[in-house]
Structure 1
Amino acid sequence: MSFMKTLAAAAVLLTFALPAFAHDGLKITDAYARSSGPSAKSGAAFMVIENHTEADDRLIGASTTAAKLVELHTHKETGDGVMQMLRVDEGFAIPAKGEHALARGGDHVMLMGLTAPMAQGDIITVTLTFEKAGEMIVEVPVDLQREDMPAMPMNHGTGHGTGHGAMQAMPSN
């Protein structure tokens, strides 16, 4: 019986390791989500969006049951070396035959009001909404141990109206 459990676990891991495809030639790779700790009220999802079509597209929204509020965000330097997080209402351009990375310290899917703590290895389902391709459902693994960006000071100001100015910066480890 343990062989069957091992085989089933391997199948699940392989499923999540494979990239997701949308019906219109978009491909999601290297997706993961994280929060700053078990008591965090917010987290973020990151991924690379590849556009294998001849037409530009745009990520214009995202949703998940893992959070009460989901927004597209980016970071902008305030001029004094501090990074401020801002909501991006217009979304993110995904160029034809190109890609756009949602990465720590840059563009990302912000998850506010988490409905449950994010634990290493959990999977959250995120629905991405594209201007042309429509909706795409992506299974995003939680990876709290990933180190792909050096830590940087962040000021999560309230200039974008979401009221999460007191949110903790996500650590790089």
Structure 2
Amino acid sequence: MRHRSAVLTTAAALAGALALAGCSDSGSTSGSTSGSGSGTKKAELSVSGSYIPQPVSADMAAGFLTITNKSGSKDELTSVSSDVAGQVTMHSTAGGAMREQNSFAIPAHGQLVFKSGGNHLMFEKLKRTPKQGQTVTVKLTFAESGPLTIEMPVKSATYNPSTGH
């Protein structure tokens, strides 16, 4: 029980620090995927504005990105993995409360946004602590489209995408 309390305290501290960081889309494309010519309509997905603030904890980090769907077919982000973490979980935030989610819908001609103070990724059981200036390889798995592997840059703990600092 003591470990769970420490994890929740760390998560709360991290969430507070991340809320101070602010967020917006930086417009950089990290990768894209689209369906092949198999005759089935698949979402046309691209990722932009991805980053991980340098973690303040040795065992946990957060991640943010925007997934844009340019097609008329919806999709769903079903899992995320990374070689830097034992597991990567997806969380929604509503009314200040974080909740783990099994998947997130990506609407046709729409976006799925993971940002500070909102939906976010949690890199848990870190195998190594990501440092500012490094990149972290992340695999995004979708219900309809093929998997997408991206490189997420590690920024300062107080990075604000709208100012670039």
Normalised by the size of structure 1, how large is the TM-score?
A: 0.67
Q: Taking CA–CA contacts closer than 8 Å with sequence separation of 6 or more, which of the two structures ends up with the larger relative contact order?
A: 2
40, 50, 56: which one aligns with 2:68:
50
**Alignment coverage as a number of residue pairs:** 127
- What does 1:121-136 correspond to in 2, within 5 Å? 121-136=133-148
Contact 2:51–2:63 at 8 Å: present in 1 too? yes
Separation (CA, whole Å) in 2 of partners of 1:101 and 1:141: 17
**Cα deviation, residue 93, structure 1:** 1.1
Separation (CA, whole Å) in 2 of partners of 1:102 and 1:33: 11
Separation (CA, whole Å) in 1 of partners of 2:79 and 2:151: 16
Contact 2:54–2:132 at 8 Å: present in 1 too? no
- What does 1:79-158 correspond to in 2, within 5 Å? 83-89=96-102, 91-144=103-156, 145-147=158-160
**Cα deviation, residue 75, structure 1:** 1.4
User: Which runs of 5 or more residues in structure 1 are unaligned?
Assistant: 1-16, 78-82, 150-172
Contact 2:59–2:126 at 8 Å: present in 1 too? yes
Normalised by the size of structure 2, how large is the TM-score?
A: 0.71
User: Which runs of 5 or more residues in structure 2 are unaligned?
Assistant: 1-27, 36-43
Partner of 1:63: 81
Deviations 1:121-150 (A, max 9, x none): 11100000111113110111111241259x
Deviations 1:102-137 (A, max 9, x none): 111111111001111121111100000111113110
Partner of 1:155: none
**Cα deviation, residue 19, structure 1:** 3.1
**Cα deviation, residue 42, structure 1:** 0.4
Q: Secondary structure at the match of 2:52?
A: strand
- Name the amino acid aligned to 1:41: D
Separation (CA, whole Å) in 2 of partners of 1:116 and 1:57: 32
- Name the amino acid aligned to 1:34: P
